[in-house]
């Protein structure tokens, strides 16, 4: 029984490290120069997207066929609370059914993308689950973490072309066979932008958040101007 409890604690601690590690800004961007019309579209004033009302997210229209999904808890450094885990799945499932949306930009409001899991909000579920049966607690944590994983996997499963700010603690978003990704997942260490660039996980880095978003909206505008069937088919063939 003692060994089982130790395994349960180790599994929980590993997942907590993966979920709680602060995430820094990075971006997958094409090195090809963007058209001037796409860049101008990225400067369009944002407006609230219909049918998207959330506690932890803000969804706005960022141009023709482009949506901007922001983690919207800047006072909490966009820490991932219970509402976030639920609303990200709801949000991207809606986007997947939105025939007008062809590209998505994901960012965080305020100074950082996210500080990681909101332990104050999630403590009762992750750190102090009810019951005293080790096996049942382990299965409970397994099911809970599986549900949380959908928050990220839903982004790669939607048919629309998504342009997310990458999270170094989510290996399925990158490559399950990459030794570097395994290292990041197992150690939960921070990955600096220059290391991501040199290892090929990102194609460009930027000096600040404004520059990242300008390039992201410009790229999203250009992607959204292409045939949605071609873009969706290309994305599906690469996943």
pLDDT along the chain (239 residues), means of 10: 49 52 43 46 62 92 90 94 92 89 89 88 78 83 86 74 38 48 82 84 85 89 87 73
- pLDDT tens sequence across 62-77: 888 899 999 999 999 9
For residue 217, what are its two tokens?
Answer: 């909206």
Residue 195's H or E segment, with its range, is helix 193-198
DSSP assignment letter at 65 = T
Distant-in-sequence, close-in-space partners of 33: CB < 8 Å, separation ≥ 6 = none
Rounded CA-CA distance 228/189 in Å is 37
pLDDT for res 102? 85
For residue 15, what are its two tokens?
Answer: 């997942």
pLDDT for res 13? 58
- pLDDT tens sequence across 132-181: 788 888 888 888 888 888 888 888 777 544 443 333 263 333 344 467 77
Tokens 């986007």 correspond to 95
pLDDT for res 171? 35
Rg (CA), the chain: 19
pLDDT for res 77? 93
Rounded CA-CA distance 216/111 in Å is 17
Nearest to 148 by CA among 22, 55, 12: 12
pLDDT for res 180? 77
Tokens 């040199």 correspond to 198
């Amino acid at each position: 029984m003692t060994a089982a409890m130790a395994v349960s604690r180790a599994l929980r601690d590993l997942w907590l490290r993966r979920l709680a590690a602060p995430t820094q800004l990075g971006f997958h961007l094409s090195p090809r120069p963007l058209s001037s019309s796409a860049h101008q579209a990225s400067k369009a004033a944002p407006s609230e997207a219909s049918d998207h009302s959330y506690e932890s997210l803000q969804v706005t229209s960022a141009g023709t066929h482009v949506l901007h999904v922001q983690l919207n808890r800047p006072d909490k450094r966009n820490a991932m609370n219970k509402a976030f885990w639920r609303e990200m799945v709801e949000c991207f499932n809606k986007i997947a059914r939105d025939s007008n949306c062809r590209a998505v930009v994901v960012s965080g409001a305020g100074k950082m993308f996210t500080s990681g899991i909101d332990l104050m909000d999630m403590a009762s579920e992750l750190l102090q689950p009810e019951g005293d049966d080790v096996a049942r607690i382990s299965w409970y944590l397994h099911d809970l973490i599986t549900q949380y994983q959908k928050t990220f996997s839903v982004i790669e499963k939607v048919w629309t072309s998504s342009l997310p700010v990458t999270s170094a603690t989510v290996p399925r978003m990158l490559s399950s066979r990459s030794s570097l990704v395994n290292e990041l997942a197992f150690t939960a260490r921070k990955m600096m932008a220059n290391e991501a660039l040199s290892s090929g996980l990102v194609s460009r880095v930027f000096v600040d958040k404004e520059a990242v978003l300008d390039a992201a909206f410009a790229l999203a505008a250009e992607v959204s101007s292409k045939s949605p069937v071609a873009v969706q088919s290309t994305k599906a063939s690469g996943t």
